Amino acid sequence: MPTAAKLVAALAFAVLGCLAAEVFKGTMPERTVWGYFTPVSGGIGLLCGWWIMGDLVGRGYQAAIGSGLRTMVQAVALVVVVFSIYEAVLRSTKLRYDGPMEAVLGMFQLALEYLGKMATPPMIGTLLLGGILGGVAAEWASRRWK
């Protein structure tokens, strides 16, 4: 059921997804072609905000901070998985893997590589602060518009 809290959570985590994508771009080589990286990251943030954070409101502000961080972690995991699969499929169509098992292992290797490049202070700070603010904003909307 649509609620104001779900809408606020969706918008907050969509903004966080877009902002985190832009911060992440700074950690990658300049020759990287980004395509739809920012909109897809924002879309995943929007869906996670609606489905995850939107259902966790109404338990108080302390719980909202934890729920916001949980939603952020799940959104980051989903973004990493989606783009690791995408890159592994691109590489497999260029015949860089000898078989399907090597492609699957390549996907996990890409995911670990992406997570390693995300482990920078600006990225971690953006994600932590955004998760906390997103959770608090959703809780505030839940209390404001019941």
The total of structural domains in the chain comes to 1
- The whole-number pLDDT of residue 100 equals 85
- Whether 29 shows a pLDDT value over 90: the answer reads no
Domain with 101, as residue range(s), is 4-144
- Whether 39 shows a pLDDT value over 90: the answer reads yes
- Whether 36 shows a pLDDT value over 90: the answer reads yes
65-113 tens-digit pLDDT: 999 999 999 999 999 999 999 998 988 888 888 888 888 898 999 999 9
- The whole-number pLDDT of residue 1 equals 81
Tokens read off for 41 = 């990251």
Containing 96, the helix (H) or strand (E) segment is none
- The whole-number pLDDT of residue 103 equals 86
pLDDT band at 33 (very low <50, low <70, confident <90, very high): confident
The chain-wide mean pLDDT, for the chain, equals 93
Q: What is d(CA 58, CA 83) in angstroms, rounded to the nearest whole number?
A: 33
- Whether 146 shows a pLDDT value over 80: the answer reads no
- pTM value is 0.92
Q: What is the 3-state secondary structure (H, E, C) of the chain?
A: CCCHHHHHHHHHHHHHHHHHHHHHHCCCCCCCCCCCHHHHHHHHHHHHHHHCHHHCCCCCHHHHHHHHHHHHHHHHHHHHHHHHHHHHHHHHHCCCCCCHHHHHHHHHHHHHHHHHHHCCHHHHHHHHHHHHHHHHHHHHHHHHCC
5-19 average pLDDT score: 97
